[in-house]
Amino acid sequence: MTIARSELHTKDAFWHAKNVTVTDSEVDGEYLGWYSDGLTLVRCHIKGTQPLCYCRRLRLIDCTMENCDLAFEYSDVRATVRGKIDSVKNVRKGSVTADEIGEIIVTPDSVYPVRARIVTKKA
């Protein structure tokens, strides 16, 4: 499924979704994309708490995030984000690149090994 140039105001959007691509859209809602597989967001503005957790093959390309905390928990992700992410937590694998990340959380009792590469562009 492909969604383009849309505004989505929802809760739990794309839970367990497979092979969905969203481009040039605003996605506003809690718990976005949990347990998805193959979700791709391109030039999207993402708003809401705890987005994109427990995902497989998640990709964010040139997106922005607003009020997004505890993002990407236990996800396999490749993300490039313009601007700030409030916090990322226990990113399982892949990479997250953003201009700024308010807090990087890695808990010692993580259920899975946490092997992601987290990169901030601003000092």
pLDDT above 70 for 123: no
- Chain segment 93-108, per-residue pLDDT in tens: 999 999 999 999 999 9
| Domain range list for the chain | 2-120
Cβ–Cβ < 8 Å for 41, 26 = no
In angstroms, the Cα distances linking 55 to 38, 42, 99, 122 are: 8, 16, 22, 27
pLDDT at 18 over 60: yes
Q: What pLDDT is recorded for position 121?
A: 86
- pTM summary value: 0.95
